[in-house]
Chain A
Amino acid sequence: AQKVTQAQTEISVVEKEDVTLDCVYETRDTTYYLFWYKQPPSGELVFLIRRNSFDEQNEISGRYSWNFQKSTSSFNFTITASQVVDSAVYFCALEDSSYKLIFGSGTRLLVRP
């Protein structure tokens, strides 16, 4: 079965701390895509990254970085030097072979000043 697990329901950190959001997935497909989305308090879904299953290189974008490890079926997201504006719900998602996005339950991140 296709499944995405975000075991951390809520994380609270103090500004400038680094924080890692975990994502573990299950899939039978050999080719798949993984995504991270951010949902700020305003409610919209903001696309952060899309990663192909054949590309295991880590990705860095400013304070954001992603660690994709096929061996452990994980696609973790790290925010370095967190800021209050990073407070949001973050969703990890898996695109299956029929172009459907399967979401994890989300991790709520609270960054306190």
Chain B
Amino acid sequence: NAGVTQTPKFRVLKTGQSMTLLCAQDMNHEYMYWYRQDPGMGLRLIHYSVGEGTTAKGEVPDGYNVSRLKKQNFLLGLESAAPSQTSVYFCASVGSGPINYGYTFGSGTRLTVV
């Protein structure tokens, strides 16, 4: 099915461990985003990419790194996980051009750092 796929869906990390979240889209979208959702705070933008090979910081980038080596994939890395990074992470993508009906979101990754 076309859309945005996030892996894994759930993960528990120990403080200091590292991990990579993968986002893949098959809609040939130029723009991709990583958000985190915390209770009462809505979704906050971590990093985003406006095209293959490009990345930029969002509102809350500290502690995260990203890469967009291929147009369809956007990776979010945590080098040294902290309990404050316990959250639900959403990836999203959108295409440019005259037809743009909305951002497509993945189903989310629930990350717990203990």
Residues in chain A within 8 A of chain B (CB atoms) = 6, 9, 35, 37, 43-45, 47, 50, 91, 98-106
Contacts and interface: CB of A to CB of B under 8 A. Distances in A.
Contact of A44 (B35, B103, B107): B107
Contacts, number: 47
By Cβ-Cβ distance, the 10 closest A-B pairs, closest first, are: A47-B102, A103-B42, A45-B105, A105-B42, A103-B43, A50-B102, A106-B42, A99-B31, A44-B107, A43-B108
Contacts of B40: 9, 105-106
B50 interface: yes
A43 B6 CA distance: 13
18 contacts: A6-B42, A9-B40, A43-B88, A43-B108, A44-B105, A44-B107, A47-B102, A50-B100, A50-B102, A99-B50, A99-B94, A99-B96, A100-B45, A101-B45, A101-B103, A103-B35, A105-B41, A106-B40
Contacts of B107: 43-44
B33 interface: yes
Q: In this complex, which of B50, B58, B103 has the most chain A Cβ atoms within 10 angstroms of its Cβ?
A: B103
B44 A47 contact: no
A47 B90 CA distance: 14
Interface in B33-64: 33, 35, 40-45, 48, 50, 58
A77 to B, nearest CB: 15
Given A50-B100, A101-B33, 9 more contacts: A43-B108, A44-B107, A47-B101, A50-B101, A91-B42, A99-B50, A100-B45, A102-B45, A104-B42
